[in-house]
Amino acid sequence: MRIFNGWRASTCGAVCLAIGASGADVPAAAGPAVPQISWASDPVRPDETVLLRGVGFGPRPAVEFARLDDVDPAGAHQSAQAWVRLPALQPADDALKFTIPADARPGVFACRVVAEGARSEPVLLNRPEVWWLQGDQGPAATSGGWLRIFGKCLGVEAASVRVRLVTAGGTTVALRAEAADGWSLRCPVPADLAPGSYAVRLHSGQGGAGAWREAGTVSVAAPAPWPTNVYSVFASSGPDAARDMRRSLVKYGQPLERTEAVLAALAKAKANGGGIVYFPAGRYHLNAPLELPPRTLLKGEGMGLVTLWWGKGTFNLDGGGDKGLAKETEPEPPASLISGPAFGIEDLSLYLPLAHRTGIHGFGEVRLRRVRVRIDHLWALDGNKRPEGLVARLGRNFEVSDCDIIAKGEGLALGEFGVVARNRILAGKSPCTLGGARAVIVEDNQFVSTYPTAYQNVAGVGQDIYYARNRHEALNAHQADFSCTFDRGGTAYHGTLAAVAGAKLTLSADPHFEKWADARHSLWRKSVVCVVSGRGAGQWRGVAAFAGREWTLAEPFAVTPDARSVVTIVPLCGRALMIGNRFEDANWVNAGFGTALDVIYAGNRLARCADLLNYGMASPEYLCPNFNVQFFDNELSEGMNSVVVGGSVRPAGAFDGQVTQNVIHRRTRLTADNSGRFVIQGALREVIVEGCSAAHPDSGIKVERGPSGVLLRHCRSADGALRCEGAEQVP
């Protein structure tokens, strides 16, 4: 028997789980004839089909399958269950599919490939797979704070999920899981938990002792509260200051100049090592940018009671005339109006000048809570040009919550390890830019476009994104092109490899970096190597280091590419969870338009949109693959909203492989008021469309020439099997 992730596979017809056991190797053919599995599609239910990628499957493979018993996961041993042999569907040497028996109970499944008498190492399906951890201090958590876990197959019943923190000495601390949706977990951290580094272990509640997952490590720190000394901006303004400021709140009342008083309060906070700069009710006119000292909080008496204004002329506009319009001769405001390395803003309103470039620039830990943002004199948008101007650029470890923002151009530009929650953001360009983001939680927001071609964009590079329960709306309704998209980034190389030695690769030619991003650009520190064709196709790995033709991966490929394999080096754009969102009046809702790697779209609703799309692209200049994109339980309604799986090579013949691979659509629904269809086209392979439905009589599935390995199964219309063109459904 061979040990595999804490459990072992036996050739005697049983799955035996015994932590720490040992035994003889599985008999297997020597050399490369032994099948290897590099990727398996999950989550998967009984009577659903699994896609396996790898190598050495041969011409007549079979699959052996078993279910892990749901015994106490704390136990050291697990009872045996018999292997069942299942037929392989659409077998190729590097890919096959098989269907979970309909009478199996939901849970954690084991499978392995049998080819010419040799067996692959088994893999577990539906065991938790953790993509990243995030705490209330970004990459760390605090005692009394929270820890969130993201990935797939994490468990949907919080009461059954088990999360353990383990010290280097072996001491175990149990965390209580809450808010489980299969893709994320939230765990309060006990207030008495000792600071230190902890290994994180996770169990979904199914699969017994063999289904634990090592989820990485997390640092827990003691809380480090900011100073709470309060410095009122009225401290040097005389006894009548509060009365005068409150009078400025009357309709047409003008803000009062208070720049020096605000700067004096900030100076006191700086001398104290931080503190609370407090704004009593009123409208404050400022004529200078605010550089906030570390650990300083700007706090107002209320979001509707305090306004900071950097404008010129009059604050209020009177109807019936144009004298309140912005003047073209107004001086350009500073590059940023509020900036600093670690600060907070709470319970006030900001009115940014019409010509602003960046309103708020946070270099590090920034908290925006209950902040209203408006743009001074923003009467209408110029229809000839998409507007510019950014409300807030956020760095590392940030929070934007419960805010009300109207942005001329972009609302928020996200950095790393942050939370954007329960906000309302209207924007002319992008409410919440995700390009360049890493480890961000964007949930329960309302995003509205105020310009026809606004978008939400993971542009070029972005990873570890949890985007959940957000609502997209468009003021321009039927003319809107409010897309949510993954866009193509740069390419450093595409071609073959001269040598592979574990994690070390030697390219066959020099890399060709983009003109706008040479080898020194930070983009390539976030790059990945993808195997697009040949041995090992469908895999990707992160880049740890590179110099010239020598590139080092963060970990080796499961299936080693050979001299005929074609690879591409691109910025990582993917590992994103798009869960339970509603998109209205959009154009494309893309899980990839260019590079997209390991993306989940689940439980989303699209109304009056164009396509739900994933689409790899290739040309003589670039190869941008879509790998491992999965769709579950999405609904498309109103109009002619189609599901499109595609791969584009332009010009034809520029690349002879498939740029889109490993696509799963399960339980996608096209409603009766939607005459769209499922379209599978172009340079792609290994697609499963299963359990999907379309209620409109004009809807159906069309598989065009070009794709390979397309499996259609159990797709239905209102009165029977769904009409298919170009392919047959399998039983």
Residues 183-224: pLDDT tens digits? 999 999 999 999 999 999 999 999 999 999 999 999 999 999
- Taking the C-alpha atoms of residue 490 and residue 524, their distance in angstroms, rounded to an integer, is 9
Please work out, in degrees rounded to the nearest 5, the angle formed at the alpha carbon of residue 56 by the alpha carbons of 50 and 555: 80
- Of 645, 663, 628, 658, nearest to 726 by C-alpha is 645
Three-class SS string for 621-685? CCEECEEEEEEECCEEECECCEEEEEEEECCCCCCCCCCEEEEEEECCEECCCECCCEEEEECEE
- Of 511, 598, 595, nearest to 551 by C-alpha is 511
Query: Strands, DSSP E only, in 154-301?
Result: 162-166, 172-175, 184-188, 196-203, 213-221, 230-232, 256-257, 275-279, 282-285, 290-291, 296-300
- Taking the C-alpha atoms of residue 76 and residue 208, their distance in angstroms, rounded to an integer, is 9
At residue 49 the predicted structure's pLDDT band, cuts being 50, 70 and 90, is very high
Residue type, 494: H
Q: Phi then psi for 120, rounded to 5 degrees?
A: -75, 165
Please work out, in degrees rounded to the nearest 5, the angle formed at the alpha carbon of residue 420 by the alpha carbons of 415 and 426: 100
| Bond preceding residue 651 cis, omega within 30 of 0 | yes
CATH number for region 230-473: 2.160.20.10
- Taking the C-alpha atoms of residue 680 and residue 664, their distance in angstroms, rounded to an integer, is 12
* Residue 328 predicted with pLDDT over 60: no
371-421 confidence digits (pLDDT tens): 999 998 887 766 777 889 999 999 999 999 999 999 999 999 999 999 999
Instruction: Supply the pLDDT for residue 327.
Output: 59
* Residue 587 predicted with pLDDT over 60: yes
Instruction: Please give the structure tokens belonging to residue 532.
Output: 């697009």
- Taking the C-alpha atoms of residue 28 and residue 119, their distance in angstroms, rounded to an integer, is 6
Region of 204 please: left (phi>0), alpha (psi -120 to 50) or beta: alpha
**Alpha carbon separation from 414 to 150, 172, 521, 570, 702 (Å, rounded):** 18, 35, 19, 21, 39
Instruction: Supply the pLDDT for residue 488.
Output: 83
* 477 close to 585: Cβ distance less than 8 angstroms: yes
Looking at the chain, the domain(s) classified CATH 2.160.20.10 span 230-473
- Taking the C-alpha atoms of residue 624 and residue 628, their distance in angstroms, rounded to an integer, is 13
Residue type, 311: G
Q: Would you give the distance in Å from CA 175 to the centre of its chain?
A: 25
Over residues 420-426, the mean pLDDT reads: 98
- Of 309, 431, 426, nearest to 376 by C-alpha is 309
Instruction: Please give the structure tokens belonging to residue 46.
Output: 């009984």
606-634 per-residue burial string, b: 16 or more CB within 10 A, e: under 16: bbbbbbbbbbbbbbeebbbbbbbbbbbeb
The β-bridge relationship of strands 446-449 and 471-474 is: parallel
Over residues 12-21, the mean pLDDT reads: 40
Three-class DSSP category at 244:
helix
At residue 270 the predicted structure's pLDDT band, cuts being 50, 70 and 90, is very high
Q: Say which residue, 3 or 404, is predicted with more confidence.
A: 404
- Mean pLDDT is lowest, of 92-101, 166-175, 192-201, 480-489, for 480-489
End-to-end Cα distance, the chain: 35
Instruction: Supply the pLDDT for residue 487.
Output: 85
Query: Strands, DSSP E only, in 328-422?
Result: 336-340, 343-352, 358-362, 366-375, 390-393, 396-401, 404-407, 410-413, 416-421
Select 129-221's CATH number: 1.10.10.10, 3.40.50.300, 2.70.50.70, 3.90.190.10: 2.70.50.70
* Residue 332 predicted with pLDDT over 80: yes
Instruction: Supply the pLDDT for residue 500.
Output: 97
- Of 310, 295, 301, nearest to 377 by C-alpha is 310
At residue 76 the predicted structure's pLDDT band, cuts being 50, 70 and 90, is low
> What proportion of the chain, given as a percentage, has pLDDT over 70?
92
- Taking the C-alpha atoms of residue 476 and residue 480, their distance in angstroms, rounded to an integer, is 5
Question: Of all helices (H) and strands (E), which one includes residue 17?
Answer: strand 14-18
* 337 close to 352: Cβ distance less than 8 angstroms: yes
At residue 321 the predicted structure's pLDDT band, cuts being 50, 70 and 90, is low
* Residue 3 predicted with pLDDT over 50: no
- Taking the C-alpha atoms of residue 521 and residue 526, their distance in angstroms, rounded to an integer, is 10
284-309 confidence digits (pLDDT tens): 999 999 999 999 999 999 999 999 99
- Taking the C-alpha atoms of residue 724 and residue 689, their distance in angstroms, rounded to an integer, is 11
**Alpha carbon separation from 663 to 61, 94, 165, 198 (Å, rounded):** 22, 15, 35, 36
Average pLDDT, the chain: 91
Looking at the chain, the domain(s) classified CATH 2.60.40.10 span 2-125
497-544 confidence digits (pLDDT tens): 999 999 999 999 999 998 889 999 989 999 999 999 999 999 999 999
Q: Domain 2-125 sits in which CATH superfamily?
A: Immunoglobulins (2.60.40.10)
- Taking the C-alpha atoms of residue 534 and residue 676, their distance in angstroms, rounded to an integer, is 35
136-173 confidence digits (pLDDT tens): 999 999 999 999 999 999 998 999 999 999 999 999 99
Looking at the chain, the domain(s) classified CATH 2.70.50.70 span 129-221
Instruction: Supply the pLDDT for residue 23.
Output: 29
Three-class DSSP category at 264:
helix
Three-class DSSP category at 493:
strand
- Taking the C-alpha atoms of residue 187 and residue 596, their distance in angstroms, rounded to an integer, is 29
Q: Say which residue, 421 or 318, is predicted with more confidence.
A: 421
Instruction: Supply the pLDDT for residue 407.
Output: 96
Instruction: Supply the pLDDT for residue 61.
Output: 97
Which residue is associated with the tokens 């079979």? 62
Give the chain's largest Cα–Cα span.
Answer: 92
Residues in Cβ contact with 199 at an 8 Å cutoff, skipping those fewer than 6 apart: 165, 166, 167, 214, 216, 217
Q: Phi then psi for 2, rounded to 5 degrees?
A: -115, 125
* Residue 612 predicted with pLDDT over 70: yes
252-262 confidence digits (pLDDT tens): 889 999 999 99
Q: Say which residue, 239 or 589, is predicted with more confidence.
A: 589
Over residues 233-242, the mean pLDDT reads: 83
- Of 333, 337, 354, nearest to 345 by C-alpha is 337
Quickly count: other Cβ atoms within 10 Å of residue 249's Cβ: 15
- Taking the C-alpha atoms of residue 711 and residue 181, their distance in angstroms, rounded to an integer, is 28
- Taking the C-alpha atoms of residue 428 and residue 423, their distance in angstroms, rounded to an integer, is 16
Instruction: Supply the pLDDT for residue 313.
Output: 80
Instruction: Supply the pLDDT for residue 341.
Output: 94
> What proportion of the chain, given as a percentage, has pLDDT over 90?
78
